[in-house]
Structure 1
Amino acid sequence: MSKTFISYIKCVGTGPKHNRDLSTEEMRDAMKQMLDGRAEPEQISAFLLGWRLKPESIEEYRATLNILDEQTKKSPVSNGLELGYPFDGKGNHPYIFSLAAPLVAPYGMTVVVNGTALQSSKGGATVHDICTTLPIPNNLRYFDRTDYCKPLSKLTNIRQKLGLRTGLNTLERLPNVGACNTALIGVFHKPYVKKYAEIFGDRYQRLMIVKGDKGTPEIFKKSHLWICESGKIDEIIIDPADFGIETPTFDEKLDKEAILEMIANPSETLQQIAKLNAAIWLFAKKEVSSIHEAWEMLNG
């Protein structure tokens, strides 16, 4: 049992009057102890729960991300765009990244997604399910966490038993394994936009944050999009109706097999949604000056 780690648990788990944020060095050490096994499973669970409830500070997030970077095996890709998906999947809509990726291949873009083998907590499918079950385009790269960050992967069982989202759920979405200069990540709520910009913004030349489908970076309906670049955040609104696309409707719950079938045999509407997202990717990578220009180019 790590006695030092107990002091970190006390920082996050003694209640509102006595909790405090950890310093950068304290957070770095706490994360190292979780990853190298010095902290016991019970201690890790206690810390992650307290850290979530405290809640996490930007300094703590960035210190943790720094340690994860040190443990992550990078595999740089050419002209990469990283998409930050929740690892626990979704069950309301199919994924569109494997449908959109071929559309940006002519522009030399490599699309990067990350994941691992988890049962979807939402009863649907995960990025891992898509990339290991269906054929994927040549310009789509899937990185599995068990390969690029084994120490973090070893915490999966503890985190699943805890049964709650923690700060690690946020950080694991953009590990930047592919050393991309551009990334898209989804948010559930607008207040998280500034937080995500502060956590991830300086890791990319351009970070785009989408109030997308269930926290994913995918747009299926009228959505807000924030562009983080050079310390500034600009907001735009994307509405599929402006591109002549009807908002698709699906059953409230889709299982894994239904999602895989929709991707393998996409409807015309789903293909149009994929094309709109591809246009957003081209705009993100500055291949065009606007999403409308990218849309016209993809339809040319």
Structure 2
Amino acid sequence: MITYLKEVGRGKRGARDLTYEESLEAAEQIINLRATPAQIGAFFMAERIKMESVEELEAFVKICREAAYREPIQEGIDCAGPYDGRNKSFFATFAVSFLLAAAGLPVTLHGTASLPPKWGVTLHDILLEAGITISERTRTEIVTAAKETGVLYVPAEEWCPPLKELRPIREQLGMRTVLNTAEKLIDYSCSPYLVFGVYHNTVFDRLSRLTTQLKYRKSLIVQGTEGSEDLYIDRPTRTYMVENGHASLHVVNPENLGLDTPLPETTWNAAEQLRVTESVLHGDAHIGFTHQVLLNAAYRLHLADRVESVEEGLYTCKAHLESGEAWKVYSKWKAMLS
């Protein structure tokens, strides 16, 4: 491990990227805790300064996947948002998941209790507010609920135990590490489609090459709200569509679809996230939040080849929302896991 630390930690100009083989060995030592806490923390910081290469990221994803429980439970879409949560925006992807499931597209969600650097509200917090202690549910219970409803939520630290073991080091560092990317790409349900949130458009190229290497059928990389996979509803969103090794920039402008809507000022916490989510699914939310859910659901249906166009996706999702089907899926899922 010391050898690899010397290579990545020589400073901005002297550091070099590790080869894929070197990265695999370094990742194996870190993920399986063969390196010391000091070495792990030093490696994370050095990589943060140098910036991880595609090969280094791919190696960490591979070792994380080997350490995790992964099963092709349902062929659908993986929604990969930041595990450090939200502080200033609606968690649209949660409501979107039940709408997609109602439309016939299985969804995989995953996360943990909040992490640095943002320490925001996470899906874990929202589930607790809904009366679901997901970490206490057995794997069988979680998988059964997924098969019955089309929505799988994975408590990542239970299904990939090294993430729990490495949490104290990440909390002590208090900033982003290579795991902030790798943990979102473990792909617990072996999904062919991926929607992935990023903070900065400077990582579009690296992430498009990484998702190609990971052999997703199609992926949509989104510079969304607070670095999430959620498209904005009150302004355009930059995205990268990746298919067959080809990546193309696409700006999603809700105004072009007649959906652009100002959102109300909201103080977000887990209770408010749950209230707005349930209001959208029940059909009595602020129109801006409803439009945001419809927009994101339509683009994901189109990504997964369930509809011919985004416009068809909007029509389909609106019908399932207005009919109450999305609310029924949510209610059933919640009852099975409570």
Q: TM-score, normalised by structure 1?
A: 0.90
Residue 73 of structure 1 aligns with which residue?
A: 69
Q: In the alignment, which of 168, 172, 184 is matched to residue 157 of structure 1?
A: 168
1:262 corresponds to 2:276: yes
Measured in 1, the distance between the counterparts of 2:269 and 2:43 equals: 33
Check conservation: 2:84, 2:115, Cα contact below 8 A.
yes
Secondary structure at 2:48's aligned position in 1? Answer: helix
CA distances 1:276-300 after superposition (whole Å, capped 9, x unpaired): 1111111011111221121123335
Alignment of 1:57-72 (within 5 A): 57-72=53-68
Q: Which moved more, 1:233-242 or 1:252-261?
A: 252-261
Paired residues, what number? 296
CA distances 1:93-141 after superposition (whole Å, capped 9, x unpaired): 1212232223223442111111012267546410222234337993221
Q: Which moved more, 1:157-166 or 1:213-222?
A: 213-222
Residue 238 of structure 1 aligns with which residue?
A: 252
CA distances 1:261-288 after superposition (whole Å, capped 9, x unpaired): 3223342321221111111111011111
User: 2:272 is aligned with what amino acid?
Assistant: A
Q: In the alignment, which of 185, 202, 217 is matched to residue 205 of structure 1?
A: 217
User: 1:268 is aligned with what amino acid?
Assistant: H
Check conservation: 2:68, 2:159, Cα contact below 8 A.
yes
Q: In the alignment, which of 286, 289, 292 is matched to residue 273 of structure 1?
A: 292
Secondary structure at 1:265's aligned position in 2? Answer: helix
Q: How far apart are residue 210 of structure 1 and its match? A: 1.3
Check conservation: 2:86, 2:120, Cα contact below 8 A.
yes
Secondary structure at 1:224's aligned position in 2? Answer: strand
Q: In the alignment, which of 23, 33, 39 is matched to residue 35 of structure 2?
A: 39
CA distances 1:68-108 after superposition (whole Å, capped 9, x unpaired): 12112103222310011100101111212232223223442
1:283 corresponds to 2:295: no
CA distances 1:188-243 after superposition (whole Å, capped 9, x unpaired): 22221111011122430001111211111111232122210011112322222233
Measured in 2, the distance between the counterparts of 1:231 and 1:22 equals: 23
Alpha-carbon distance change, 225 to 16 in structure 1, aligned in 2, over 3 angstroms: closer
Measured in 1, the distance between the counterparts of 2:83 and 2:305 equals: 27
Q: TM-score, normalised by structure 2?
A: 0.81
User: 2:253 is aligned with what amino acid?
Assistant: D
Q: Which moved more, 1:247-256 or 1:104-113?
A: 247-256
1:187 corresponds to 2:198: yes
Check conservation: 1:114, 1:143, Cα contact below 8 A.
yes
Measured in 2, the distance between the counterparts of 1:158 and 1:184 equals: 28
Secondary structure at 1:271's aligned position in 2? Answer: helix
Q: How far apart are residue 47 of structure 1 and its match? A: 0.9
In the alignment, structure 2 segments of 5+ residues that lack a partner are 133-145, 320-338
Measured in 1, the distance between the counterparts of 2:27 and 2:186 equals: 15
Check conservation: 1:123, 1:254, Cα contact below 8 A.
no
Measured in 2, the distance between the counterparts of 1:193 and 1:163 equals: 24
Larger helix share, 1 or 2: 2
Q: In the alignment, which of 185, 190, 207 is matched to residue 174 of structure 1?
A: 185
Check conservation: 1:73, 1:148, Cα contact below 8 A.
yes
User: 2:245 is aligned with what amino acid?
Assistant: G
Alpha-carbon distance change, 115 to 139 in structure 1, aligned in 2, over 3 angstroms: same
Measured in 1, the distance between the counterparts of 2:317 and 2:273 equals: 25
In the alignment, structure 1 segments of 5+ residues that lack a partner are none
Secondary structure at 1:191's aligned position in 2? Answer: helix
CA distances 1:7-42 after superposition (whole Å, capped 9, x unpaired): 211112122343222222221111111122221111
1:214 corresponds to 2:214: no
Q: How far apart are residue 52 of structure 1 and its match? A: 1.2
The alignment yields a C-alpha RMSD, in angstroms, of 2.2
Alpha-carbon distance change, 43 to 168 in structure 1, aligned in 2, over 3 angstroms: same
Measured in 2, the distance between the counterparts of 1:272 and 1:251 equals: 16
